[in-house]
Structure 1
Amino acid sequence: MIKEAFLWILRLLVGGLFIFSGLIKVNDPVGTAIKLEEYFDVFSNDIAGFFYYLKPFALYIGVFLVVVEVVLGVMLILGVRSKLTVWALGLMILFFTFLTFYSAYFNKVTDCGCFGDAIKLTPWESFYKDIILLVMISFLFFFRESLPKSSPKWAKSIVGAVMIISFVLSITAIRNLPFIDFRAYKVGVNIPEAMQPSAPLLYSYVMKKDGETVTFDQYPTDESYEFVEMNLKNPENLPKISDFAVWNEDGDYSAEMFNGNKVVFLVSNMSKMNEDHLPEMDALVQNLNGSPVEVVFVGAATQEEINQLIASRNWGITGLQADATVVKTMIRANPGIMVLKNGVVLAKFHHNNTPEAGEVIDLFVP
């Protein structure tokens, strides 16, 4: 009886965590694909070159993994094909443990993306989390003969429904935008304010004198102390946005982006930019001409490429460069559209949902 209760608790904990983790990533499969591309880049340089050829398939692999995470979690809790489920979970957690250890030990990928952008873990925190999961799944594997050997028809139906729903949600998030935006540039964020500390940053100073190490809250005036290191005491107050920057051949344009009403076309990769809805973007630029709304193009590309695109579309707007990682963080679409009012994010649109000029202008009406 005690063993059955113990195994049931383990099934709930492990299954629940996989469902939670998977659903967060189902919400943003593009983010999962971006993280996989980071791993493939690292592995292609450090382990084997063939990983580089997996990058074009990162989105497909990401969707498969996130759906499998949710489905396996549900199967474990409901007792559907328990032995197969435990084997699959074991192999998956071994894979994840390897990824997080590699990231932590070699400091290669500083965020594993285990819980998307909803919960940020350091590489070592991610690794310890996976070790705990590995231990729990090991218990389930050891006692797999005591797990349910069959399951009712309704349980199998639920698993099938969960698989279909998870897949549909993933595709919907890809073709639109994440249902819930956990990133620093979500709607409602004041970008210039988010670029500042939320409170004064406090530091401690580790000093050395006569072979002894002493920590001070203020930098000591005694010059006989030798500086060792400085540590931030309240990292939670660091700016939520620290990497925003846009520029062109005339110089930095970052501050100007926060003045007035802006519609920003965002492109993270010019060669992979979807062109199906450029005519709608053409109409948006044309219909906003003469309005109190300025249209700006921001792309992770050379200035020449940006200028060529703007000229080819007859947009006649300002073109700016930006870092690809920043653009991908700002919006999960290529191209995407962000509406700003004095630096506050009013709305974000996938290129599949390009708004009309009237819809944009209405956003600025109090």
Structure 2
Amino acid sequence: MKFLANLSRILVGLEFIFSGFVKVVDPYGTGLKLQEYFEVFAGDLPALAPFFNGLAHNALGMSLVFCCLELVLGVALVFNFKMKQTSWLVLGLMLFFTFLTFYSAYFNKVTDCGCFGDFLKLKPWDSFLKDIISMVFILIIFVYRKKFGKSEFGTPMVLIATIFSIGIGVYAIRYLPILDFLPYAAGKSIPKQMERPDIKPDLQYVFLNKREKKEIESKEYLADTNTYKYISSKVLNEDLLKAKITDYSIADSAGNDFTQQTFEGNVFFIVLKKKDGLEELDFGPINSLATKVSKRKIKPMVITSIPLEEYLGFAKEKKIGFNFYTCDEKVLKTMARNNPCFVLLKDGVVVKKWSYNNIPTADQVNELIISTKF
């Protein structure tokens, strides 16, 4: 039992460290997922709608807490830190995650639970199964919680993990994630990711064996119609056949498609996802930067999901005089974790991204264009 309990402690600890890390480097993404859950709960439980809407409004802060807690608890498990209290917290956190994954799978309301952030996408039932397996090991830890020994490294390692997780989480919120697992990360080509992968479908056929009166599965099409009757088929590698980017679309205010133009030459996106939080922002540095880069054959483009009438009034107030284009808010949330955010493209390839708290100079932008080779 001691060996099994310690093995469970190490395995769950490593899982929590990995899962917590890939989420805490991008708490904004986990916050979007929590917001989605809370909005679903608000719709399914109207009587509690104000409560869940309040949680949705504070999803980013909750995300940072959950992500940091998960990583720190993983370290606490690995280093035997206060196992009585740690076991209770791990059990509670896993019960919360298991409920979310079950709700996601059973009701098909949130198709990606975000268990491993944007690093690894799991189907809802796969996520729930993963949590059930983890729960088995966590229950072993919980039962054995009073018998674990102590480690002299527990306190310093947990303290380091706490500072580290909060630090990279706050940095990601204020600036940008230190690791970007999204399709709009630096070095990735947007047009290439919009293409369907050249992969052969992996089919699984179901036939009825007429002689034995039973169904069989086969990866090859059985053409003997005297013996087999075709019933159905399914694609096993369907996820691999989809383009990584399927919803990227840019249009002007009249609705004309400008998607292809964003892949031509040097483009500097100024991404404005929503007006909230921008009213008090000084757009002087942004306007100045856009004017300077435009003189260096780098085309500035405002990309926004703000409704047209709102944006026109806002642009007049902030003296934004260069061209603007519309894009779906979901795409912009994936592309740009901050608001505003700046994205530099070269022939459709993402060169670099910046937040407003780290706004580049025109010289820096120009130097990147000159030095970057694809």
Shift of 1:300: 1.3
> Given that residues 303 and 319 in structure 1 are in contact (C-alpha distance below 8 angstroms), is that contact kept between their aligned partners in structure 2?
no
Are 2:280 and 1:267 equivalent residues in the alignment? Answer: no
- Counterpart of 1:128 in structure 2 is 129
Contact 2:204 2:236 in 1 (8 A): no
Deviation at 1:232, TM superposition (A): 6.0
Residues 303 and 320, structure 1, Cα contact 8 Å, conserved in 2: no
- State the distance in 2 between where 1:296 and 1:103 align: 37
The reply on whether 1:242 has 2:242 as its aligned counterpart is no
3-state SS of the aligned residue for 2:249? Answer: coil
How much does 1:161 deviate? 2.4
Match of 1:97 in 2: 98
Change (3 A) 1:207 1:305: farther
Residue 21 of structure 1, aligned match among 16, 19, 22: 19
Is 1:172 aligned to residue 171 of structure 2?
yes
1:341-352 matches, within 5 Å, as 341-352=346-357
Q: Could you tell me whether the CA contact under 8 Å between 1:336 and 1:351 is conserved in 2?
A: yes
Aligned 8 A contact 1:203 1:217 in 2: no
Shift in Å at residue 275 of structure 1? Answer: 4.7
Change (3 A) 1:311 1:129: same
1:63-82 maps to which residues of 2 (within 5 A)?
Answer: 63-82=64-83
Does the 8 Å contact 2:302/2:325 carry over to 1?
yes
What percentage of aligned pairs have identical amino acids?
35
Tell me by how many angstroms 1:282 deviates.
1.5
Superposed structure 1 runs of 4+ greater than 6 Å apart: 205-218
* TM-score computed with the length of structure 2 as normaliser: 0.88
Report the CA distance between 1:229 and its aligned residue: 6.4
Amino acid at match of 2:98: T
Q: Paired residue for 2:43, among 39, 42, 45?
A: 45
Asked if structure 2 preserves the Cα contact closer than 8 Å seen for 1:268 and 1:300, the reply is yes
**Corresponding position of 2:28:** 30
The C-alpha deviation readout for 1:170-202, integer Å capped at 9, x for no partner, is 111111100011001111111111100221453
Equivalent in the alignment of 1:160: 159
Q: CA deviation at 1:144?
A: 2.0
- Which shifted more, 241-250 or 313-322? 313-322
SS at match of 2:119: coil
| Matched residue count | 358
Alignment CA distance shift 1:217-1:199 (3 Å): farther
Q: TM-score by structure 1 length?
A: 0.90
Distance 1:226 1:9 in 2: 48
Structure-2 separation of matches of 1:131 and 1:94 = 10
2:370 paired with 1:365: yes
My pick for the range that moved more, 43-52 or 95-104, is 43-52
2:56 equivalent in structure 1:
55
Q: Indicate if the aligned counterparts of 1:274 and 1:335 stay in contact, CA closer than 8 A.
A: no
Q: Contact (CA 8 Å) 1:310, 1:319: kept in 2 or not? A: no
Cα deviation, residue 230, structure 1: 5.7
1:65 corresponds to which letter in structure 2? F
User: Which one of 327, 330, 337 corresponds to residue 332 of structure 1?
Assistant: 337
Pairwise CA distance, 1:207: 8.8
Contact 2:199 2:240 in 1 (8 A): no
Which residue identity is paired with 1:327?
L
Q: Which runs of 5+ in 2 are unaligned?
A: none
Mapped contact 2:185–2:350 kept (Cα < 8 A): yes
How far apart, CA to CA, are the structure 1 residues paired with 2:200 and 2:41? 36
